[in-house]
Structure 1
Amino acid sequence: MKKTMKLIAIALLMTALTAGFAFARDQIRIVGSSTVFPFSSYVAEEFGATTKSPTPVVESVGSGGGHKLFAAGVGLDTADITNSSRRIKKSELEADLKAGITQVIEIKIGYDGIAIAHNKSGADFSLTLAQLALAVAEEVPVNGQLVKNPYKKWSDIDKSLPNADILVYGPPTSSGTRDAFEELVMEGATGKIKEYGKPYKKIRQDGVYVPSGENDNLIVQRLVKDKNAIGIFGYSFLQENADRIKGVAVNGVLPSPENVLNSSYPISRSLFFYVKGDHLGKVKGMEQYVDLFLSEKMIGEGGFLTEIGLIPLSKTEREKVRADWKARKALSLNDVK
C-alpha cells in the first residue's frame, strides 16, 4: 500500500512539474510593427474572448524595434512573436541565431499598400515615384550635380504640382514602413536617375519630412489639422479614416486593395510575423493563437482582418503558409537576403 501511495505521489509530482514546464508563462507577448498591430490586436482580442487563455499583450514598437526585442534571447522574459511590415533582414536573423534562438518561424499574413494621403477637403493630388522621392531626399540633382535639397514647394520640383509647401509626416527609422518606403520609393526612383549613380535612400532632416512616431493614428490626426500636409502609413489606416483623409495617386494609381493585389499601385509590400519556436510548448496558447490568426475567418477572402484593411493572400499562398506552419518550418540564413 505504501509503495502504491509513493508511486502515486511521484506521478502527481511529475505531472505538476511537466505542467509547470509546459506553461511556464500563461500570457503571450507580442511586439513589433505598427502596421501589423491592428490585425494582431484583433486576433489577440478574439483569442482572449474564445479560449481559456489570457488575451495576449501586443506592443507597437516598430518592425525594427520588434526584431531587436525578439532577438534578446530564449528566456521567457523575452517576446514570443514579433510583427513585421517587411521581411526579416539577414542581419536580424543572424542576431536571433547568435542569441540562441534555434527556430524562427516566418508567417506571411497578407499584403498592404503604403498609402500617401492628405486631408479629404484638399484638391485631388497625384505624384510620380520620382517626384515623391525628390520631395524628401537629403540630396537632389541640380545642373548635373547632387546638392542639398533646396525644394520647399511642390512646384519647385515640377511646375505642374501645387504651389504649396512640402510637408510630409512619415514613419521613423525604427519602422518597417520606413524601410519599405526607402526601398520601394527612394531606391526605386533614384536608381533610375543617372545623377545618383546608384539607389539612394537618405531622407532630408530639415523639417520638411517629419518623423512621427510608431502610432500611425498620430499622422492621421496631423493630416486632419493641416490641410496642406501629406502622410505616409499603411493602407489600413487610410481605410479606417476614409471619412477624414484620402489617398494621393502615385504614378496615376490610387491606393486600394484591388490596385495592391494587381500590382498597379507601386508602393506595396507583404506583412509578416515571426514566431519564436523555442517558446512553443512553454507559453500557453502560442500554437492556438497562430492557428486562429491563419484561419480563413481571419485572413481568408472576406475574413475579419480584410474588413480592417488586410489585403489577403491568394488561396494557394494561404495554404502554403499553413502547411509551413504545421511543419514548424524554420528560416535559415539562406532563405533571406
Structure 2
Amino acid sequence: MKKLSIAIAALAATGLTACGSQDGASGDSRNAIHAVGSSTVYPFATRISEIFSREHPDFPAANIESIGTGGGFSAFCSGVGYDTPDFAQASRRIKPGEFETCQENGVTEIVEIQVGMDGIAFASAQGGIDMNLTPEIVYRAIAANPYGEEQTNETWSDIDPSLPDLPILVYGPPSTSGTRDALAELILEVGCEAGPLPEGLEEDEQDRICTEVRSDGAYVDQGEQDNLIVSKIETNPNAVGVFGYSYLEANSDRVQGLPMNGVEPTYDNISSFDYPGARPLYIYLKKEHVGVIPGIEEFLATWVANWGEDGPLAEIGLVTNRGEVREAMTAATTEFPVLTAEDLQ
C-alpha cells in the first residue's frame, strides 16, 4: 500500500491524470490495464488478457485496442497518467522520433519487451495465384515510382514473363501499421536498393521512391484489419494479401503462403530469419504506471508463462523467442530496464 500511495502521488504530481472516468473507475483513477497498438500483436495480447482474467479474477479485464503500431505509440507517448495507455503493442521497434515525443511528454521510463517474432507473409487463396516472389518483384509491382520511373506494370508478367499474366492486385496494411513499416523496411527497400536508382538522390527522395506504394488500385489499403485481407484474397483467387504470419497460420485452410526468394513463410524459416520478412514483435511498458494500475506485474507474468514454444501463443502463430533473447526478455518483465536513446541507435 505504501508503494501504491507513493506511485499515485508521483502520477498526480505530473498533472497528467484523467479528468473523466475510464474502465469502470471515476475521477482520477483507473483499475483496468490499457494496451493499444499493433493489429499483429493484438491477437496475442487478447489471448494473454483472456488467460490473465481467468487466472486473476480479482483484477478487471484488460482493455486491449488494435489501432496500429503508429497510432499506439501516439497514444502511449501522449503523457503519463490514468487517461493514457499503460502498454503500447508494436510490430516494429519504437522510432527515435517517437521516443523523443515520449520524453517530451514526460514518458521518460519506457521498458521494451520483445514478446516473440512474426513474419510479413505474402499469401493467396488456396488454389489461387502461385508464384515465387522476391523483394525486387514486390517492389516493381507495388511501388508508386519504381526506381524513380513511372509505374507502368499492370500484370505480374509485365515484371517478369515467367510470372502469371494476371492483373497486379495486392491487399495490404495502411501507412499507420507496423506491418506496413516492416513491409517497407524488409521488402520494398531491399528490392529498391537492388535496382538502378537515379544518381545524386537526396535521402528523403530516395526514401520516397523506395517506400511509397502506388495508389491506382493495384495496391489496396485494407485498414488495420488483417482478417479482412484474408477474406478479400479468399474470395479472389488472383489477389495477393500481405499480413502478419500469425494470420497465415491461423487461416491455413483458407489461404496459402507464397515463397520469398524460394523460402516458404513457415515457423522454422521465420525463427531462423531465413525468410526475408521475419521481424520481432514488442510490447512497451510505462514504468511510471507499475504499482499504480493494478495487475501490471501479474499481466507481464502471464505473458512470460505463455510465450514458450509449446504455449498458447505459439498455437495461434507466435514465433517464440529462444535462448538468450528469451532469458533477457523474461528478466525485463520483472527488472524493468529503462530504454535509452542510445539503445535505438
Structure 1 and Structure 2 fold alike (TM over 0.5): yes
- Uncovered stretches (5+) of structure 1, i.e. residues with no partner: 1-13
Match of 2:20 in 1: none
* Inter-partner Cα distance in structure 1 for 2:188 and 2:249: 24
Matches of 1:137 and 1:20, distance apart in 2 = 49
- Alpha-carbon distance between aligned partners in 2 of 1:304 and 1:215, rounded to the nearest angstrom: 22
Match of 1:115 in 2: 121
CA 1:20–1:102 in structure 2 vs 1: closer, same or farther (change >3 Å)? closer
Measure, in 2, the Cα distance between the counterparts of 1:125 and 1:215: 25
* Aligned counterpart in structure 1 of residue 98 of structure 2, from 92, 96, 108: 92
Q: Distance in 1 between matches of 2:131 and 2:153?
A: 18
Q: What does 1:116-155 correspond to in 2, within 5 Å?
A: 116-141=122-147, 146-155=148-157
- Which of the numbers 252, 268, 288 marks the counterpart of 1:242? 252
Please say if 1:206 is aligned against 2:216: yes
* In structure 2, distance between residues paired with 1:71 and 1:46: 27
Deviation by residue 1:225-277 (Cα, 9 ceiling, x = unmatched): 11111000000000111111000111111100111122221111000010011
The equivalent residue for 1:218 is 228
Aligned to 1:11: none
SS of residue in 1 equivalent to 2:268: helix
SS at match of 1:195: coil
- The percent of aligned pairs where both chains have the same amino acid is 40
Q: Does the Cα contact within 8 Å between 1:63 and 1:84 map onto a contact in 2?
A: yes
1:335 aligns with 2:343: yes
- AA aligned to 1:29 is H
By how many angstroms is 1:123 displaced?
4.7
Instruction: Give the unaligned 5+ runs of structure 2.
Output: 10-24, 200-205
Report the Cα distance in structure 1 between the residues aligned to 2:198 and 2:251, rounded to whole angstroms: 37
Q: Is the 8 A contact 2:129 2:237 kept in 1?
A: no
Q: Could you tell me whether the CA contact under 8 Å between 1:119 and 1:223 is conserved in 2?
A: yes
Counterpart residue type for residue 327 of structure 1: E
Give the 3-state SS of the residue equivalent to 1:260 in structure 2: helix
Partner of 1:9: none
Matched residue SS, 2:100: helix
Question: How well do the aligned residues superpose, as a CA RMSD in angstroms?
Answer: 1.8
Q: 2:89 aligns with which of 80, 83, 86?
A: 83
Partners of 1:82 and 1:92 in 2: CA distance: 12
- What is the letter of the counterpart of residue 40 of structure 2? T
| Contact 1:49-1:55 within 8 A present in 2 as well | no
The amino acid across from 2:240 in the alignment is I
Deviations 1:104-159 (A, max 9, x none): 00000111111000010215321111001110011124xxxx32201110000110
Quote the Cα distance in structure 1 between the aligned partners of 2:191 and 2:341. 29
Q: Structure 1 residue 291: deviation in Å?
A: 1.4
2:161 corresponds to which of 134, 159, 162 = 159
Cα distance in 2 for partners of 1:165, 1:305 equals: 37
Specify the code of the residue in structure 2 equivalent to 1:69: A
Report the count of equivalent residues.
317
Assess if the C-alpha contact under 8 Å between 1:28 and 1:56 holds in 2: yes
Alignment of 1:188-337 (within 5 A): 188-196=190-198, 200-295=210-305, 298-337=306-345
- Residue 323 of structure 1, CA deviation: 1.8
